[in-house]
Chains A and B, each alone.
Chain A
Amino acid sequence: MKNGFSIAWKTAAAALVCYSLVAGLAAPVPRLFILNETIRNLYFHVPMWFTMIALMGVSLGHSIGSLQRPGQAGLEADQKARLAAEVSLVFASLGLFTGMIWARFTWGAYWTNDPKLNGTAVAILIYLAYFVLRSSVEDPEKRARLAGTFNIFAFVLMIVFIGVLPRMTDSLHPGNGGNPAFGSYDLDSGMRAVFYPAVLGWIGIGIWIVELRVRLTRLSK
């Protein structure tokens, strides 16, 4: 039963990503000034951030587990937290890369002083600091404890930063500072029908990658 469910969600995730890749490039999109065809980046760039946050949430969950469970179970949870954080950083890099390319063509610069870009930079720096902290402690149990507490502390501050603060200030991003949000773009198109499957599919693929990395780490031991 468990195996059947596992195959089902992985197949669904792969299918959703394949669908979003094809529909994302081929389906009609609204013709908007400046954005033009770059609006399609919504299908490829934004799901990376959703996946990053979801995987950071997975990492947070394992960190909480590692603090609550003593001994070997706690260490295993800590390993899972590390692996989820690593994969989330890969998605963060992909989100950053796709966003920078898009920004160059629509805003005229690879990087601007935008609250969402600052949030991205903070998220990446926080998780790089998490890895620095891990590498500076030798004892596995102590490492699990320190990394777990930092992960929880940092995740909450990061969510406040990327979720709340951008809404308090102006941003070039759609949905902030008077710019129209995604809802305004898809009134005359099926963008929503591609975007949401892409988000779900990429989150599924991200969790699958973490699961594979956990199994690989177990095997290498």
Chain B
Amino acid sequence: MKRWWTLGRWALKADFRHRAQSVQFILFTAVATYLVYSVAPSPSPTVWLALLWVVVLFSAMQAAFRAFHEPESLWAYLNQLASPAAILGVKSLQVAVHTLLTAAAALLLFGLFFGMPESAQSIEAVLKVTVALMLGSLAFAATMSFTSALASRAGSNPTLMATLSLPLLLPAVLVARRASSLAVANQDWAELAIPLFGEVVMMGLPLALGSVLMPYLWKQ
């Protein structure tokens, strides 16, 4: 636990030192949202959701790639400090925080530029959309943390990371789409429960698998 804490503190400090890079994700989200707004200023609720997920997905991918994009010397130092599973755990947490921030920024910007869809104007509906979006983003972060670790071992190639991640993310995308569609339609919490649980499963499964496989992946 002490090692987790040390690693977490180190990641937080590193993020603070390179805060310009952290702000980049938000900026990327803002630019992507504005670009989307310029192309389709008044989308239907389905298109609104699809665009939101596309922006969140690619922002999350940036965050995940950066988390494992470190020099070899630093990895050598971290390997002495903590186990591979702990490194993955802390890095996943770091990716999750960045992804949640970018998802929140994307939702805010979409609300600002496009407005919320007509059926999702009430506070309760916005809350449902937010929960579905956050859980979906966490599912993305969990899968992409592992693929980012894999890509970093294979030579830190961003194209490789996208190639490995996108097919694996499709299940999470489909579950998240279902949850968020119901949320946008302001369905009851009881209706939303199963897809939201699906999002939690799509977050927990990659994390559990990743922590089992990480020692093999991280072996020097």
Contacts and interface: CB of A to CB of B under 8 A. Distances in A.
Interface string A140-174: 00100110111011101100110001001100000
B6 interface: no
Interface SS of A by simple majority:
helix
Given A165-B171, A165-B198, 9 more contacts: A118-B170, A122-B170, A125-B166, A128-B167, A149-B150, A149-B217, A153-B209, A157-B143, A157-B206
10 contacts: A118-B170, A121-B170, A132-B163, A146-B150, A149-B150, A153-B206, A156-B205, A161-B170, A161-B171, A168-B194
A33 B194 CA distance: 35
Interface of A: 67, 115, 118, 121-122, 125-126, 128-129, 132-133, 136-137, 142, 145-146, 148-150, 152-154, 156-157, 160-161, 165, 168-169
Nearest to B165: A129
A116 B213 CA distance: 28
Contact of B164 (A118, A129, A137, A142): A129
A4 to B, nearest CB: 38
B168 A152 contact: no
B61 to A, nearest CB: 14
Interface SS of B by simple majority:
helix
Interface residues of B, number: 29
Nearest to B194: A168
A183 B206 CA distance: 35
A48 to B, nearest CB: 20
Given A129-B167, A157-B171, A146 B213 contact: no
Nearest to B168: A157
Contacts of A136: 154-155, 157, 160
Nearest to A150: B150
A126 B167 contact: yes
Interface in B89-110: none
B66 interface: no
B163 A129 contact: yes
B78 interface: no
